[in-house]
Structure 1
Amino acid sequence: MDFNKNEALREVLVEANATNSAGASDRFQKVVGVCHLLVSLGVILSMDYFLKRAFVAAAIKFPSALFGMFCIFSVLLILDCFAPPMAIKAMAFFEPATMFIQRWLPLFYVPAMVVLPLAVKDIPAASGAKIVFIIVGGWLASCCVAGYTALTVRNIVKTEMIPAEPMEKPPPFSTFEIASWSVIFLVFFIIAYFFPIALGTTARTSLPFLLAATVLGYMIGSRLPSSVKSLLHPIVCCALSADLAAMAFGYVSRIGLDAVLGDYLTKVPSNPGAGDILMGFLGSVIISFAFSMFKQKRLVKRHAAEIFTSVILSCIFSLYSTAFVGRIVGLEPALTVSILPRCITVALALSIVSLFEGANSSLTAAAVVLTGLIGANFVQALLDKLRLNDPIARGIATASSAHGLGTAALSAKEPEALPFCAIAYALNGIFGSLLCSVPVVRRSLTLIAGQVLM
């Protein structure tokens, strides 16, 4: 009997030791994972920082992050040709950073939407109606141009489709994360109201609670049902959350909404607001596109004719038709220039309008998001009506006309179109940035829009 008891006790101790060892191993792996994320993300952030400084010092008017993206993509292609194991190791090293950016991607270009009330308050209602007309009509036309171009080239080359590389999805936000950020928001809102001196003045006072409100809005928006997301996209939910927090603080502190929003996005490096912190990641977002494109390199190479032809023609059409229609309907030149990159993802659209004098970046962000929301709701029905049934044509038409939001909506229902959406989504922004970086093209667009060149 005693022997059996001792044997049972020994088994319990062995099992307990094994459990403790497993727990210690899991904790160690988590620490290693966090360190891996910080290092890989730090490398991308550092690259973006030093490229910006170098381009400013050299007075180069070209998006420095786009140059960085091309450099990384080129290096990966060279490694893949001469040392494939090195390319695999490089992709594995940067995977935590790219997954982090993918998980938080919309959050980084929301600030321009948050301060939209400041940007549009002086825009007349008639001009607003013209902008909406251009955006809706432009989305429809761009979708047709991209879709039919892709279908025409597809019928000519007749290349058989190959399966795409699987794209890993980031994990959803947990209830614990939402609860934690809710507590952070409430704590810093109270501190900012009762003890503003403790946090400093102006933008620093409202930075923590406005940053928490923005993050919280994005988390809640991403957890909404799909049927609700089609109308209230996480980007919109995120911007509304920050605006409501700013409105509440402006009311209780009696300093007004405009003052709080002015502190949200200061564009002053010495006194950054919550929006400045988030938009500081935009360059890193663009650089990270290189890894997504490299992952689908086989698909790009096999269907290069359909992809590049339709993306290039659609991008040229989108830019010049927007400038032309804006001139025809009598929209103010500065507003027309602001909505030129309406079909390009916000991260790159904001880089593009920074090249044009007098452009309103907040209006650019709003135009891009509105275009995406229209595409997310109606692109599938439109493609069906146009009888564009080929997945390549559907994917390219969606991404070229409604960028990321339209891509997300279509890919959820038609996964076979996702890789073409992703490729066209990136290439459309890249080609648009390259095109607008050419001085002759910028001058022609501004002249067509009716802007007087100085």
Structure 2
Amino acid sequence: MLPLAPALPSAHIAKIGMIIVCGFLFTLFSTAIICITLRGLVSTITGKAPATLMIAPSKSSPPSNRLILTFGILTALSFTLATRAVQPAATAYALFATLLTFTVGQRFPAGVKMLLHPLVTCTAGTIGAVALLGYVTSTPFPAMLATYYTRSAVWGAGDILASLLGPAVVTFAFTMDRQRKLALARAAEVVFSTIFATLASLFGTAYVARLLKLPASTGLIVIPRTVTAPLAVAIADLLGANVGLAASVVALTGLLGANVAASLLSIFKVKDPVVRGLSVGASAHGLGTAAMSEEGGAFPFAALAMTLVGIFSTIFIAFPMTRALVLRAAVGVASKSVVQ
């Protein structure tokens, strides 16, 4: 939905880019420092070395050719019907085009996906598919794209996908339950590092946005930058920020973390899998966590950090009193009406 978002001046885009990069680096390394410090304190108090539980990395198979072919056929059929003004077919076409372009992106070699993540191919492909249908049916592109995610009683393809975000968040509970032994083994680091990352990201990002003199409508979109997308959308709504712009900031943060987080930690000789996982999950949410799937010992902790930072951030913003504190840090007032 980014093409429908308000256009931003180049100076604001540069400041947002600075916040994304610098904020990511700060969260990544500050979380690592907190973890290492707590590890030392716990070891000193208990006289025991910290537990390091190595788990075999999880491996997932790429989408099959049959699945991609199926999505391709459904996309073509629904496109044909949509050109004949069959409205439900237009929604189906956009939905299948989204699924098709994402699964195709997942089939790319790992080296290609470092630069061309499936999220990028999905976004570009879906926008292209929507633009094609608009061209064939003589519908202006903005009007056609506006039907993708309506957030009204008449659902588009984006509304169908967004309806799955809630159940997706609920599944985090199963992930946390499966890893409860790992979390308990290093409970102090898990809890305190994620709480620190949450508060530092929310308030630090809000204050820096205000310090850089970003207007309220722009400054608020960067606040949920470390929160996984399903919860970041809810936080953006609560803050009164533009959902399309906020989601883009989240995606860029995740892409940055997925590509460089593990390498940066290795450069600075951060080897403990618990520290690596918590740092990446707290700073780069879902995309960064997915990139850690090859590190069996780090991956569960990245998933825990992603989950806990998302949950803590959502709870914190959901309460009016604490939300007002974040708004005050970002724009100097305690009401989101300034951006509406």
1:382 equivalent among 233, 247, 264: 264
Letter in 2 for 1:258: P
| Alignment-derived partner of residue 115 in structure 2 | 231
Q: 1:430: how far off? A: 0.9
Letter in 1 for 2:82: A
1:418 equivalent among 285, 299, 308: 299
**Normalising to structure 1: TM-score of the pair?**
0.70
Letter in 1 for 2:208: V
* C-alpha distance in 2 between matches for 1:250 and 1:451: 42
Q: Where in structure 2 are the equivalents of 1:114-125 lying within 5 Å?
A: 115-120=1-6, 122-125=7-10
* Aligned: 1:141 with 2:141: no
Q: Residues 57 and 293 of structure 2 are in contact (CA less than 8 Å); yes or no, is this contact kept in structure 1?
A: no
* C-alpha distance in 2 between matches for 1:350 and 1:450: 20
Taking a change above 3 Å as real, the CA distance of residues 387 and 170 of structure 1, as seen in their structure-2 partners, is closer
Q: 1:253: how far off? A: 2.0
| Alignment-derived partner of residue 99 in structure 2 | 215
Letter in 2 for 1:361: V
Higher Rg = 1
Q: Residues 224 and 235 of structure 2 are in contact (CA less than 8 Å); yes or no, is this contact kept in structure 1?
A: yes
Q: Residues 116 and 366 of structure 1 are in contact (CA less than 8 Å); yes or no, is this contact kept in structure 2?
A: yes
Q: Residues 164 and 296 of structure 1 are in contact (CA less than 8 Å); yes or no, is this contact kept in structure 2?
A: no
Moved more, 282-291 or 155-164: 155-164
* C-alpha distance in 2 between matches for 1:305 and 1:346: 26
Q: Residues 102 and 118 of structure 2 are in contact (CA less than 8 Å); yes or no, is this contact kept in structure 1?
A: yes
Structure 1, unpaired ranges of 5+? 1-114
1:435 equivalent among 309, 316, 319: 316
Letter in 1 for 2:267: K
Q: Residues 225 and 246 of structure 2 are in contact (CA less than 8 Å); yes or no, is this contact kept in structure 1?
A: yes
* Aligned: 1:397 with 2:287: no
Q: Residues 266 and 272 of structure 1 are in contact (CA less than 8 Å); yes or no, is this contact kept in structure 2?
A: yes
| Alignment-derived partner of residue 311 in structure 1 | 194
| Alignment-derived partner of residue 161 in structure 1 | 51
Q: 1:168: how far off? A: 5.9
Q: Where in structure 2 are the equivalents of 1:31-430 lying within 5 Å?
A: 115-120=1-6, 122-158=7-43, 159-163=49-53, 171-193=61-83, 195-196=84-85, 199-200=86-87, 204-269=88-153, 271-357=154-240, 359-412=241-294, 414-430=295-311
SS for the counterpart of 1:354 is helix
Q: 1:385: how far off? A: 3.4
* C-alpha distance in 2 between matches for 1:274 and 1:387: 45
Letter in 2 for 1:236: V
SS for the counterpart of 2:239 is coil
Q: 1:284: how far off? A: 0.5
Letter in 2 for 1:259: A
* C-alpha distance in 1 between matches for 2:12 and 2:332: 16
Letter in 1 for 2:103: M
Q: Residues 182 and 216 of structure 1 are in contact (CA less than 8 Å); yes or no, is this contact kept in structure 2?
A: yes
Taking a change above 3 Å as real, the CA distance of residues 377 and 167 of structure 1, as seen in their structure-2 partners, is closer
Q: Residues 311 and 428 of structure 1 are in contact (CA less than 8 Å); yes or no, is this contact kept in structure 2?
A: yes
Cα-to-partner distance string for 1:17-47 (whole Å, 9 max, x where unaligned): xxxxxxxxxxxxxxxxxxxxxxxxxxxxxxx
- The structure where helix makes up a greater share of residues is 1
Alignment size in residue pairs: 330
Structure 2, unpaired ranges of 5+? 44-48
